[in-house]
Amino acid sequence: MRLNGEISYVRDEEENENDSVALISLPPPPLQKLVVGYALTSKKVNSFLQPKLEGLAKKKGIVFVAIDLSQPLVDQGPFDIVLHKLTGKEWQQILQDYWEKHPEVTVLDPPAAIQHLYNRQSMLQDVANLNLSDCYGKVGTPRQLVITKDPSSIPDAVSKAGLTLPLVAKPLVVDGSAKSHELSLAYDEFSLSKLDPPLVLQEFVNHGGVLFKVYIVGEAIKVVRRFSLPDVSKRELLNNTGVFRFPRVSCAAASADDAELDPSIAELPPRPLLEKLARELRLRLGLRLFNIDIIREHGTRDRFYVIDINYFPGKWSLLFIQYSHPFKLMKCSLYLLSHSFLSIMCQFISSF
């Protein structure tokens, strides 16, 4: 068989070997359609379904169909994949019931697994339990403390836990709102009582003001740099008091990929270490579509901390989709741009 679609065949097994071989040019097989039903917020739809993405997907036989939330999900479709990012117990139950009736459908990702990332108390537990360390470096999590109520008790709780100031305060619940990604930096013990529970307190680790966002789509990995909170010197810690509030610091506008940085700060984490971390977290979290925020402790080369994990992050760019068989394996090659973003498509394995 030739790669250009021409097929050679022998008309009769008993024909002389010197006889000519007939060639028939066959048209390529029709592209089998893959239907992706999506249930996303309007904001997510606007950032995700860009014309370039839809056009590229259409060429590959991928069709996006909006799921009508006012109608029973079982009456819609049929879908090959359900891609979603909605919160709420009602939607989780709807999707779970649908999946039980249609186990052949690929759901990205299971609602129960996603729920694990909506709480910062449980979000990093799998990383802490992993305690990854090999010849390429060590990956852990900052020490942290969960405060659910009574701000006046925070200083005493921090003292008992042995946490070191300054502390980063993050909302306990991640609900997709801008507020859930806001940070506060508390410099002194007395200011801790001004915080607003429920929250998570993390020890601040100096990291050169740069964090690495590791995007994971199935087995595909892409890393980009983002500006982060600046380092805090001992002098600043002694001279500063109070709580300083910051908006979301690792957004796309804060790209550090083209900035002139100290090579020791800008150097990306070792690829083998990231691949091992991503593989382990995919298994432990049960997710295939997420990103990890990682920092490197300033002054070290191989000491890394995971400080956040997000499901189906929005600021991704898909420039190329390739799949070897539409109903066996889809591979996505992701290339993220520094200043312009489209969205993402997923890597998944489905059997039909």
* Residues in the annotated binding site for Mg(2+): 293, 308, 310
Smallest CA-to-CA distance from 307 within 315, 299, 295, 297 is with 295
CA distance 343 to 50: 7
User: Binding-site residues for ATP, please?
Assistant: 120, 170, 202-213, 228
Residue 241 has a CB neighbour count (10 Å cut-off) of 12
For the annotated binding site for 1D-myo-inositol 1,3,4-trisphosphate, the residues are 44, 85, 181, 213, 310, 314
Numbered residues of the known binding site: 44, 85, 120, 170, 181, 202-213, 228, 293, 308, 310, 314
Cα(88)–Cα(317) distance, rounded to whole angstroms? 27
Please give the full DSSP string across 126-172, using - where no structure is assigned: HHHHH-EEETTEEEE---EEEE-S-GGGHHHHHHHHTPPSSEEEEES
Nearest CA to 226 out of 268, 257, 248, 269 is that of: 257
d(CA 317, CA 160): 45
Integer Cα distance of 350 and 35 in angstroms: 12
139 neighbors 306 (Cβ within 8 angstroms):
yes
